Structure 1
Amino acid sequence: MAAPVAAAARRWRRFWGPRGGPSPLRAFVTVIPKVSQVDNSSDFLGHVPHRRHPGVLHLKSVQLPAELVKAAQLLVQQSMVPGLKEQVVALTNYLWSRKRPPEASELQRQGQELMSELRERVQPRTADAPNVLTNAEEEKLQTRVLTRLRKTTYHWEALRYTDELGLVYVAARLDGGFAAVSRAFHEIRKRVPAFAPCTLLDFGSGTGSVSWAAHGFWGETLREYLCVDSAAPMLALAERLLRGGSESQAPLFPGVYFRQFLPVSPKVKFDLVVSAYSLNELPSLAERRETVRTLWRKTDGFLVLVENGTKEGHQMLMEARDTVLGGCDKVTHDPREAHVFAPCPHHLPCPRLSPERPLPCNFPQTYHPLPFPWNPPQKEEKFSYLILRRGPGAGEEPWPRITQPVLGRPRHVHCHLCCADGSLQHAVVSPRRHGRDLYRCARLSHWGDRLPVRTPPGEAPPGDDGEAPAGIGAESAVPER
């Protein structure tokens, strides 16, 4: 008898808090407002299991092709790179913590502010005499400003890939990059099963993992894979991987071409254009924007951008999103509009980029890494991605995206959602308020899936009336008996 009473007391304290009042976290929880209930009688699920509802997009675990694993192992074993494990760890940490290159205008602004601050300290300005410094004092002040800027500014450097660094990159990033791109391709194939690309452009192709992933999804229709990378050693390494680790063996699948530059003609377009972990290799915001415009001009179907799941990676993707949606391209070769296919369910500013507390919009993907001694059986890649599509996106369901792990509790589920009205909601789904089918769909969903709910057309989204969303009351939050 004591055990059930103690369990009930724990549940009571979890909801009401340690002092008998409502838990402070409950004040930020809202019920999904004005959501249509769904059930199997409406044929919404098509009589499929709830764990396979239409919003499910996650992959359990990505497995690299056996031929690619064998080729990567062969190349690494033949190279005999000294201290490979330590170099892999160092390169992985460096790439994850890498930031965007500082802009010259921002550095100039910081330098002027710092110069004014230091000048005021050396000789404060008065009404009678302005703070005029001698030439020697001015030079000393400039030296102090430059020293301060060097200490506080991120020192971005372009990566110079050599044969040895390329092999370290294969051991460090081949599997994780393959997993992230596979997750993005899986969403396209799941939501648009009729999409059958014939041509692929991979900008910043590196090890060629994008071509391997695309071949696994659309190998029956793809006839041309164009890999573009400015580093000649990486192109040679990707070609050797394609040949099974040998220079004389035939390619494991045909139609792959390697180049150091993008095609010049604007009329050359590709069904699928991809840039994975490449935007941060460009030295300025202007070059990133121009590159994104060029890639969009060459897109006939989908443009897929993937970056690290950090604040920097997410913000670079939002820059690219604004560049394409802004429509400021002076050269228009395709009148079709840009449509955000994933992960955003809207074209509004990202709600996670609040000035007070910007957060990255990222998603996890588990995978089986290359079988090196230092790798565990499974690893997780945390990445950010953006998929843009040609056309208005007619017929797309604006279902909200789950942006954090789903938290299951007795008879209710907590979901963090990015909604079609551009807001973030911490929603609680229960069978009493939302129906058994929607509740089970939410309970069996994962981080990165879409929750199949929508606000009926013509009704204002929550918060538009100036009132805060209603908090969870005891009727909806206390577990049902």
Structure 2
Amino acid sequence: MASRSFGACVLCHPVLRMTCRRMSAAADLQSQIDFLQGQPHKKHPGVTKLKNLGLPDKLQAAALSVIQGAQVARLTERSRKLTNFLWSRKRAVEDFTLRKKAASLEKELWEKAMETPDGADEQLLEERIRKKVLSELRRTTYRWTAMKYDEELGVVYMAARLAGGYAAVRRAMNEIKKRDPSFAPQSLLDFGSGLGTVVWASHSYWGDSLKEMVCVDSSGQMNILAERLLKGDDERAEPPIKHVYFRQFLPVSPKVQFDLVAAAFTLSELPSTKEREEAVLTLWRKTGSYLVLVENGTKEGHQILMEARDTLLLTQEKTLHDSRPASVFAPCPHELKCPKLAVKPSFPCNFQQLYQPLRLPGLKHKEQQVEEFSYLILTRTEPVQAETAAVDWARLIAPVQRRSRHVHCRLCCPDGHLQHLVVTARKHSRDLYRCAHGSHWGDQLPVLQKADDGSQTD
């Protein structure tokens, strides 16, 4: 009988074979980037979700003082109705869309009239069809009206949206704080500043460096209310946040830039695509480093942000005072067309943040509520790169489903595709499995290898 070689005997031994596999796997992992960067698995670099957020103590106290002094009738009921109204709000219908719809309706009615002529005079028939078209347009067209805040409605808005709006803005800005810890802005511009939540959220991260914060809102009453929230009960007392300036119009000079520019729940208040596009381009010209846009986590909010994204990535301006191009910082891991818009039926790309609601007088509240929002951050600086191309960071776009020995992750990937990845320790490494198990909706997840039998593209 022919004798087997020593190497063959080694490979046949089950213990030695297992040892070789483990050594090989360890070598493979060693050759890849250490994506944990010394952090524990539950706090890996892709974690950006925050725990239950509450309003700063001074902001909460000032808001309750304003509410108590205003004594608005049926405040709880009105704040609930306003919340529902703002959530269900759609964009105004464009004029060209209305004209197109009217022409289609008119054509359809004429075709029906010609099929069954009733002998009516042509001029009379034309008048009848015109009235039917107008009636149908009134019945089916969304009636958009601009929000006009007086003193009382401003207090209702504060009761309805202060805590949730603050939570959404704080969560979006946490992305910059976590991924670019060296960023120390000295100036801030908040367009459509409303209650000043952007100022409070940004101050919580960069209070030591911010020296100038300009709040722009067309509503004089909103500016007065935001200033009262800054000063608190005692108007003579020194405000907790200094160097805040309120304006009703943007700074005129196109050369004036701010390190951080934000617009939260503002673009949806502009009546047309053209006005939103002009506003986004103006804000970008004034952006020195980061532009942060936040909207409701609805289809409307998401689509408005994707329009803004396309405007800044695709528009070539003739006059440039800052030639550095726009690049997407978050949440998209790519600059391709949003894959969620290509899926039918489409669902918005949105995220959730737990927060503690403003405790209105005489009302029992839940310990926490959920703010659902969409956001977009663009930057003039170079995108943050991994140390090596071995790691692609994808975005979790749905809740992580944890099962026995495997985790279901739905991801938006750097190649511009949606992916349903089933992560296991055996197929994807123990480190990646533990990271996936501890991650949440909205976090980033390092994908160390190509999709295999346990993954699929949605």
TM-score (norm 2): 0.88
Aligned partner of 1:231 in structure 2 is 219
Aligned partner of 2:323 in structure 1 is 335
After TM superposition, the structure 1 = structure 2 runs for residues 106-121 of structure 1, keeping only pairs within 5 Å, are: 106-121=97-112
Aligned partner of 2:378 in structure 1 is 388
Aligned partner of 2:287 in structure 1 is 299
Q: In structure 2, give the amino acid aligned to 1:256.
A: V
Match of 1:175, SS state, is: helix
CA positional deviation for 1:369: 1.2
Q: In structure 2, give the amino acid aligned to 1:434.
A: H
Query: Do the aligned residues in 2 keep the contact of 1:306 with 1:386 (CA within 8 Å)?
Result: yes
Query: Do the aligned residues in 2 keep the contact of 1:85 with 1:374 (CA within 8 Å)?
Result: no
Q: In structure 2, give the amino acid aligned to 1:306.
A: V
Residues 165 and 112 (structure 1 numbering): CA distance in 2 closer, same or farther, change over 3 Å? same
Match of 1:159, SS state, is: coil
CA positional deviation for 1:272: 0.2
Alignment partner of 1:258 is 2:246: yes
CA positional deviation for 1:280: 1.1
Q: Distance in 1 between matches of 2:93 and 2:448?
A: 41
TM-score (norm 1): 0.84
CA positional deviation for 1:48: 2.4
Q: Distance in 2 between matches of 1:209 and 1:123?
A: 59
Query: Do the aligned residues in 2 keep the contact of 1:50 with 1:444 (CA within 8 Å)?
Result: yes
Query: Do the aligned residues in 2 keep the contact of 1:54 with 1:452 (CA within 8 Å)?
Result: no
Q: In structure 2, give the amino acid aligned to 1:107.
A: L
409, 416, 437: which one aligns with 2:410? 416
After TM superposition, the structure 1 = structure 2 runs for residues 138-287 of structure 1, keeping only pairs within 5 Å, are: 138-287=126-275
Aligned partner of 1:93 in structure 2 is 84
CA positional deviation for 1:311: 0.2
Aligned partner of 1:347 in structure 2 is 335
Query: Do the aligned residues in 2 keep the contact of 1:37 with 1:434 (CA within 8 Å)?
Result: no
Q: Distance in 2 between matches of 1:413 and 1:216?
A: 34
Alignment partner of 1:70 is 2:64: no
Aligned partner of 1:103 in structure 2 is 94
Q: In structure 2, give the amino acid aligned to 1:346.
A: H
CA positional deviation for 1:221: 0.2
CA positional deviation for 1:331: 2.3
Query: Do the aligned residues in 2 keep the contact of 1:403 with 1:417 (CA within 8 Å)?
Result: yes
Query: Do the aligned residues in 1 keep the contact of 2:421 with 2:455 (CA within 8 Å)?
Result: no
Segments of 5+ residues of structure 2 without an aligned counterpart are 1-26
CA positional deviation for 1:328: 2.8
Query: Do the aligned residues in 2 keep the contact of 1:39 with 1:438 (CA within 8 Å)?
Result: no
Deviations 1:194-251 (A, max 9, x none): 0000000000000001101111110000011100000000000000000004444332
Query: Do the aligned residues in 1 keep the contact of 2:35 with 2:446 (CA within 8 Å)?
Result: no
Query: Do the aligned residues in 2 keep the contact of 1:240 with 1:246 (CA within 8 Å)?
Result: no
CA positional deviation for 1:336: 0.6
Match of 1:452, SS state, is: strand
115, 124, 136: which one aligns with 1:136? 124
CA positional deviation for 1:115: 0.5
Residues 470 and 410 (structure 1 numbering): CA distance in 2 closer, same or farther, change over 3 Å? closer
Query: Do the aligned residues in 1 keep the contact of 2:39 with 2:45 (CA within 8 Å)?
Result: no
Q: In structure 2, give the amino acid aligned to 1:262.
A: L
Alignment partner of 1:432 is 2:426: yes
Aligned partner of 1:18 in structure 2 is none
Deviations 1:328-374 (A, max 9, x none): 32321111111100000000000000263211000000011112224
Aligned partner of 1:122 in structure 2 is 113
Q: Distance in 2 between matches of 1:106 and 1:371?
A: 43
Match of 1:382, SS state, is: strand
Query: Do the aligned residues in 1 keep the contact of 2:428 with 2:448 (CA within 8 Å)?
Result: no
Aligned partner of 1:377 in structure 2 is 367
Segment drifting more, 53-62 vs 413-422 = 53-62
Match of 1:123, SS state, is: helix
Aligned partner of 1:23 in structure 2 is none
Cα RMSD after superposing both structures: 2.1
Match of 1:330, SS state, is: coil
Q: Distance in 2 between matches of 1:210 and 1:146?
A: 43
Residues 423 and 317 (structure 1 numbering): CA distance in 2 closer, same or farther, change over 3 Å? same
Alignment coverage as a number of residue pairs: 423
Q: Distance in 2 between matches of 1:371 and 1:387?
A: 31
Q: Distance in 2 between matches of 1:243 and 1:444?
A: 41
Q: Distance in 2 between matches of 1:355 and 1:423?
A: 11
Deviations 1:94-116 (A, max 9, x none): 00000011000000000000010
Match of 1:399, SS state, is: strand
Sequence identity (%):
53
Match of 1:336, SS state, is: coil
Query: Do the aligned residues in 2 keep the contact of 1:76 with 1:167 (CA within 8 Å)?
Result: yes
Q: Distance in 2 between matches of 1:374 and 1:88?
A: 15
Q: Distance in 2 between matches of 1:41 and 1:290?
A: 44
Q: Point out which structure has higher relative CO (alpha carbons under 8 A, 6+ apart).
A: 1
Q: Distance in 1 between matches of 2:152 and 2:425?
A: 57
Deviations 1:7-29 (A, max 9, x none): xxxxxxxxxxxxxxxxxxxxxxx
Query: Do the aligned residues in 2 keep the contact of 1:314 with 1:384 (CA within 8 Å)?
Result: yes
Deviations 1:427-454 (A, max 9, x none): 0000111111110000000000000124
CA positional deviation for 1:252: 2.1
